[in-house]
Amino acid sequence: MKLAIIGSGIAGIACSIRMAIKGHQVHVYESNSYPGGKLSEFYIEKYRFDAGPSLFTMPQYVEDLFSLAGKSTSDYFEYERLSTICEYFWEDGTTLTAYAEKKMLAAEIKRAFGIDGDVIYKILKDSQKKYDLCGKIFLENSLHKINTWTNLEALKGLMAGPRLDLFTNMNSVNTKLAKHPKLIQLLNRYATYNGSNPYQTPGIMSVIPHFEYNIGAFVPKQGMFSITSSLVQLAKDLGVNFYFNKKVEQISIKEKSVCGLIVDKTNIPYEAIISNMDVFNTYKKLIPGIKAPKRILSQKKSSSALIFYWGIKKTFPQLDVHNILFSNNYEKEFQSIEEGGVYEDPTVYINISKKYKQDDAPANCENWFVMINVPNNQSQSWDEMIKVIRRNTIEKINRILKTDIEKFITCEETLDPRSIELKTSSHLGALYGNSSDSKWAAFMRHSNFSQQLNNLYFCGGSVHPGGGIPLCLLSAKIVDDNFKIL
């Protein structure tokens, strides 16, 4: 069978591999000159930067693709587990090293916060319990197929509803478990992993630390982009054809089935289409004549990000790969994002891939990926906002790290919600599609298949099960599991 995939984000690449393994002829169309979508890379002078996601969890979903293809992962891709997950900093001088080893983490919590560090065991046990009860149901299966709900595992998950904290928020769960305000703030941070607000998103989202601590946080030895490049190479080895700088203009439809793509004003026939494009823009731009599911597409969108990419002519031994400089008022920070702005004291995330990949920056230098959570694009005065945010970010870094960082910045690029939308077609520049702030959010994501057009499928962060590398890879699996031609 001949099929086309629109977009070479990580989910689109994964779909191409799965379809090629099944023996299909696969063509991938990408409007950019490079693959990966948000999971791409670029250079500024002698500094290399991963453009988007900087944390690697659930590596088994990447390994699954090589295994399915009968290939050895290590021939394409190498990674290792982090011994330190993150360095945390507060304005009052408190610091905490989040060790991957739980005994060390418990001791560090006791040192930093003066509380019984064994509380972390209770927290992570609760997180794992939630995953064991419902993780596979909600993440690895289509929620839009009746057979997902007609088995014993699904029944157990549904009966466990009260233990999943669906009807309270993440902050309430963390407050009950963690007690100490700084540990609560640290745990609330995990809401940002899917662009949510910890004071609104349901308590089931406290499942996220399970992935990072119980399973592990990892780094690809050649940088995050090597996830993309290794999977593209695998796809090519399986016979997938990639077409870059090729913008799909429309999906061709005959009666109630897709039948091809229009590219460069030419109709190219295909028997099936998988769209890795944001589902909102798939409807708006590629199938405008088809009635869109307004209730789903009009849902609140997730937050976005403002990223400063800085070449730094200095090294900072107190920093690690992942670093968080916390706001003094986390609730106010999220309230500001809800209102379309950014709090004057934002939480600052700094990723430095040079810490494990030495050629990412010159000797005695570092490549800083500095990210601030911001609202999605609602036509704010971004140019003015960015100036203020940059100044507040630099002042915060200077206070906490006792430095004058601006004098060490040798080169700089900026990514904001407008450019995220332009480069990745993410509606409003939202990083994760629909927001997860509602307890019904999982059910309000678009399905991985069209209910109006035969042979049209959807993958990526804007559809079920959501955004982020692991979930995007699982969206490809769900497409694969449910793929058939009508």
What pLDDT, in 10s, does the model give residues 475-485?
A: 999 999 999 98
440 vs 15, higher pLDDT: 15
HEC readout, the chain: CEEEEECCEHHHHHHHHHHHHCCCEEEEEECCCCCECCCCEEEECCEEEECCCCCEECCHHHHHHHHHCCCCHHHCCCEEECCEEEEEECCCCCEEEEECCHHHHHHHHHHHHCCCCCHHHHHHHHHHHHHHHHHHHHHHCCCCCHHHCCCHHHHHHHHCHHHHCCCCEHHHHHHHHHCCHHHHHHHHHHHHHHCCCCCCCEHHHHHHHHHHHHHCEEEECCCCHHHHHHHHHHHHHCCCEEEECCCEEEEEEECCEEEEEEECCEEEECCEEEECCCHHHHHHHHCCCCCCCHHHHCCCECCEEEEEEEEECCCCCCCCCEEEECCCCHHHHHHHHHCCCCCCCCCEEEECHHHCCHHHCCCCCEEEEEEEEECCCCCCCHHHHHHHHHHHHHHHHHHHHCCCHHHHEEEEEEECHHHHHHHHCCHHHCCCCECCCCCCHHHHCECCECCCCECEEECCCCECCCCCHHHHHHHHHHHHHHCCCC
Query: Percent of the chain at pLDDT above 70?
Result: 97
Mean pLDDT of 108-135: 96
63 vs 443, higher pLDDT: 63
The separation between the first and the last C-alpha atoms of the chain, rounded to the nearest angstrom, is 12
pLDDT at res. 159: 66
Mean pLDDT of 321-349: 98
**CA–CA separation, 368 and 349 (whole Å):** 10
Identity at 95, one-letter amino acid code = T
Phi, psi dihedral angles at 82 (to 5 degrees) = -80, 140
**Residue 401, CB-side half-sphere exposure with 13 Å CA sphere:** 24
Q: How confident is the model at residue 141 (pLDDT cuts 50, 70, 90)?
A: confident
Q: Which of 59-68, 135-144, 280-289, 409-418 has the lowest mean pLDDT?
A: 135-144
Q: How confident is the model at residue 167 (pLDDT cuts 50, 70, 90)?
A: confident
Q: How many Å is the maximal CA-CA distance in the chain? A: 67
* pLDDT per residue as tens digits for the range 82-109: 999 999 999 999 999 999 999 999 999 9
Residue 155 scores a pLDDT above 80: no
**CA–CA separation, 18 and 69 (whole Å):** 8
Q: Which burial class, exposed, middle or buried, applies to 42 when counting CB atoms under 10 A from its CB (0-12, 13-18, 19+)?
A: middle
The pairing of beta strand 47-50 with beta strand 84-89 = unpaired
The pairing of beta strand 322-325 with beta strand 84-89 = parallel
Identity at 307, one-letter amino acid code = I
Phi, psi dihedral angles at 351 (to 5 degrees) = -110, 135
pLDDT at res. 443: 77
Q: How confident is the model at residue 140 (pLDDT cuts 50, 70, 90)?
A: confident
Mean pLDDT of 209-237: 98
390 contacts 383 by C-beta, under 8 angstroms: no
pLDDT at res. 18: 98
Residue 164 scores a pLDDT above 90: no
Residue 149 scores a pLDDT above 80: no
Q: Find the Cα–Cα–Cα–Cα dihedral 361, 221, 19, 463, rounded to 10°.
A: -70
Residue 426 scores a pLDDT above 90: yes
Q: Going from the N-terminus, what domains does the chain have, and what CATH number goes with each?
A: 2-40+223-296+440-482 (3.50.50.60), 104-215 (no CATH)
Q: Find the Cα–Cα–Cα–Cα dihedral 39, 40, 46, 47, rounded to 10°.
A: -20
- Residue 213 makes CB contacts below 8 A (sequence gap 6+) with 85, 100, 102, 105, 124, 127
Mean pLDDT of 293-317: 95
**Residue 336, CB-side half-sphere exposure with 13 Å CA sphere:** 18
Mean pLDDT of 277-304: 94
pLDDT at res. 156: 67
Predicted TM-score of the model (pTM): 0.96
Q: Which of 158-162, 165-169, 231-235, 439-443 has the lowest mean pLDDT?
A: 158-162
349 contacts 281 by C-beta, under 8 angstroms: no
pLDDT at res. 48: 98
Residue 392 scores a pLDDT above 70: yes
Q: How confident is the model at residue 110 (pLDDT cuts 50, 70, 90)?
A: very high
Residue 147 scores a pLDDT above 90: no
